[in-house]
Structure formats: structure tokens, C-alpha cells
Amino acid sequence: MYRSPVREPLITGNKDLHDITVDIARPIETSANKWWWSLFIVSAIAMLWGFGCIAYTIGTGVGVWGLNNTIGWAWDITNFVWWVGIGHAGTLISAVLLLFRQNWRLSINRTSEAMTIFAVMQAGLFPLIHMGRLWVGFWVFPLPNQYGPLWVNFNSPLLWDVFAISTYFSVSLVFWYMGLIPDFAMIRDRAIKPITKKIYSFLSFGWSGRAKHWQRHEVMSLVLAGLCTPLVLSVHSIVSMDFATSVIPGWHTTIFPPYFVAGAIFGGFAMCQTLLLIARKVVNLEDYITMTHIEYMNIIILVTGSIVGCAYITELFIAWYSGVEFEQYAFLNRATGPYWWAYWAMMTCNVISPQLMWFKKLRRNILFTFIIALFVHIGMWFERFVIIVTSLHRDFLPSSWSMFSPTFVDLGIFIGTIGFFLVLFLIYARTFPVIAQAELKTIVKTKSSKYNKNKNGE
């Protein structure tokens, strides 16, 4: 293998082209290990609990949540924005690194793209559940009035969400599937069982690996990457406008679009890091998801965490500079009011903890990386909780002031979506190639050194 005198190799273990094919196909062709089964069982139990809470909500009504007249948005919208943020970073990671021709993306792009699909699926559950009546969900689409409901309100940012997220999901799904086609063909060619061969033959769309196929694949990948990049910026900007177009103190600010985009990239990179560490263990990919990949991801988490910290400080400055006492009180109440613990948990997890990544030993430590990634997940969830609940629980009238406490249904649905997300990812890791092996082989400049010895064995 070609070894740069400056950078560490992106593939360890002295692999040749055949070794890469065997290693990437092994999780699909062999039985799962104990790590996979342990995590799958726990995730499936959480998923079933969440489905039970969703069924209870639909059967009884959203009154089983902890909402009240003052806090009409809380746990459900917090979870929605959290999942949307995670989903938006996945395709951005793959698309931007592809456009910049970064070779280290080859081991992480497939996981990040899958993360997008599965996270957006979780996010899509919450607006449907929040309606209370799933069977009228088609009201958000601009269907002719002959279908019954009136024409949708195009002035509503919630409607913009429907269009933006559905568009982003569709483009991301095509982008993800395009990359999978050559690997499906590889599994098809290696398959022994007739049923397996037929399934992967269908999924591979007749891929033969000819130069014409690769040319079209390359062009489509670049086109879709170019489409996905601005979509990421626009979609989370639109999600932020659910809040920014209101007159609620703490929401009515123009910093929300870039602030939400930076937070989405930050949280999404942390989730991608979490999934990469899980994939390393459950499908034995330590030679392909190396410490180099983990360190590069940690550096990006450090940079984006610093950007988010600057956004928090800018928010406080804007509130002070505005001279609006309601706006100033909203931010003072976040830091010192009844929900102070949520605000400082957000600041600690999102601003302080990533700064530890300045130390090389820490950002190259797997256990520490996993813990920091979990901290970021917690911090980003609290960010959305702080924005939503602390802005609503102190109304303009003191007589309307209220507090929010989640019920077991709120908790159950959220935990259920985490379980559902992990179940989808674990099934994907056992049925789809987790790494784009065909592209990964392009960075193996020569055959492995074990085949490069001369006649004298030197």
C-alpha cells in the first residue's frame, strides 16, 4: 500500500484489493457477533416501548403529554428539531467532502448518508403525532379543494417544513442509493444462495462495472452532491423560521437560520462519530474506520462546537443591544430562572466539552470520543428544549406563567425513536455494505507490500 511520509494511511492492516472486498462483504455473508445482538435487542425493546406510547397517544389524544395552555410546544417539537438537525448533517458530510475530493470521506460517507435517511424518518413521526389525527395528515399538501379540506396556508413556516424536508429526504435517498449500486453488484457477484443473488441483482440495477457505468455514476454523484449542499443550508434555515417568524421573545431573531445550521452540523457530526464507533465494533471495521478518521471528525466537532458557542454569545449580545426588556428578560430567565439547569447543561455539553479536543491524546482516545459525542447529543437536545420551553413558560401575563413536566408518554416516544433509529442502522449494517468498497479501492495505489517484494525478498 502507498504510504505518505506525512499522513497516516487511511487503511491499516496491510490490505490488498481482494482483502477489502472480503472485509466489506463479511458482515452480510456471516452471522452477527454478540455486540450486534446485544445492541439490537436493547434497541428493539426501546422501539417497541415507543410504538406502544405512540399508539396510546393516537388512541387517547395529545392530552397525555405534559403540554398546557401556556406551553403548547415542548417535548415533541424539541425531538423533531433534534432529529432534523442530525439528519441534515449526514448528507452534508458526504456531499461537501466529495466536492472537495477528500479521500478520508470514503470510510464514513455511507454511514453519514444512512444516518440522514434514518434520522429524517424519526423526525417525520413527530409532526404526524402532533396532529393528533394521522388520517388527516394529507391536509398539509396542496391538493385541490374537491378532496375536502381548504387550500393550505402557504404563509405558514410549518408548510415550508413539509416541502423542504420531503425534498431533502428524496434527494438524500437518491444520493445514498446511487453510491450503493456498485456495492450491491459486488454482493450479487459473491452471492451463493439463489434468493440472495436475485435480491441484490434487482438492487444493483444491472450494474456491470463498465467504464460507461462509472462515468454516469461519477457525474450523478457530483450533480447530487451539488444539489444536497445548498439544500442542507436551506432546509434547516426553514426549520428555524418556525420560530424566527414569530413575535415570542427569545425566538424573534435573525441569527436563528445560521445558528440552527451550525448546530445541525455540530450535532450531526457527533451522531456520525457515534455510529462510526458502533460500526467499528459490531461489524469489525477497525482497519477501515481508523484513528485518523476519528481524529478528523473530532477536529470538525471542535470547530463547529466553537461556532455554536459564538452563536450563543451573539444571541446574548443581540438581546442586550436590542434594548427590548422582554427580549432581555427571556435570556436572563434562561440562565437564572427555573430552567437554569437546562441552560447550563446546554452550555457545558456544547461549548465547554468540545474544547477538550484541542488535546491530541484526548481526540485520539476512542472511549473519550464516544463520551464527548454523547455529551454533544445531550447538549443539542437541551439547546432545542431551552429555546422552546423557556421562551414559552413565561408569557407576557404573569397570570399565564406555567411549568412543563414530561409524562411517561413523552419519554417513551423519544426513547422509542432512538431505539427505532438504532434498529434501522443495525439492520442496514448487516444487509448493506457499510463502506463504499469500490471507491475505497481507489486510494490503494499499489498492491499490498506482501506482493511487492522483489526476487531477493527485499
CA distance from start to end of the chain: 16
Cell of 323: 434594548
pLDDT of residue 415: 93
**Spatial separation of the C-alpha atoms in residues 144 and 282, rounded to whole Å:** 49
| Total-model pTM | 0.86
Name the residue ranges covered by the structural domains of the chain.
17-132+230-436
CB 261 within 8 A of CB 244: no
CB 126 within 8 A of CB 87: no
pLDDT of residue 50: 92
**Spatial separation of the C-alpha atoms in residues 420 and 418, rounded to whole Å:** 5
Q: What is the pLDDT along the chain (458 residues), one digit of tens a residue?
A: 555 455 677 777 777 777 888 888 888 878 878 888 999 999 999 999 999 999 999 888 888 898 888 888 888 889 988 998 888 777 777 777 777 777 777 778 888 888 888 998 898 888 888 877 777 777 777 776 666 666 777 777 778 878 888 888 888 888 888 888 888 888 888 888 888 888 888 888 888 878 888 888 888 888 888 888 788 788 878 888 878 888 888 888 778 888 888 888 888 888 888 988 888 888 878 888 888 888 888 998 899 899 999 988 988 888 888 888 888 888 888 889 899 999 999 999 999 999 999 988 888 888 999 999 999 999 999 998 999 898 888 888 888 888 888 899 999 999 999 999 999 999 988 888 888 887 787 777 544 444 444 444 44
Beta carbons within 8 Å of 117's beta carbon, 6+ residues apart = 87, 90, 169, 172, 173, 176
Q: What is the 3-state secondary structure (H, E, C) of the chain?
A: CCCCCCCCCCCCCCCCHHHHHHHHHHHHHCCCCHHHHHHHHHHHHHHHHHHHHHHHHHHHCHHHCCCCCCCCCCHHHHHHHHHHHHHHHHHHHHHHHHHCCCHHHHHCHHHHHHHHHHHHHHHHHHHHHHHCCHHHHHHHCCCCHHHCCCCCCCCCHHHHHHHHHHHHHHHHHHHHHHHHHHHHHHHHHHCCCHHHHHHHHHHCCCCCCCHHHHHHHHHHHHHHHHHHHHHHHHHHHHHHHHHHCCCCCCCCCCCHHHHHHHHHHHHHHHHHHHHHHHHHHHCCCCCCCCHHHHHHHHHHHHHHHHHHHHHHHHHHHHHHHHCCHHHHHHHHHHHHCCCHHHHHHHHHHHHHHHHHHHCHHHHCCHHHHHHHHHHHHHHHHHHHHHHHHHHHCCCCCHHHCCCCCCCHHHHHHHHHHHHHHHHHHHHHHHHCCCCCHHHHHHHCCCCCHHHCCCCCCC
**Spatial separation of the C-alpha atoms in residues 456 and 20, rounded to whole Å:** 28
Neighbours of 371 (CB within 10 A): 13
Neighbours of 215 (CB within 10 A): 10
pLDDT of residue 51: 93
pLDDT of residue 458: 44
Neighbours of 250 (CB within 10 A): 23
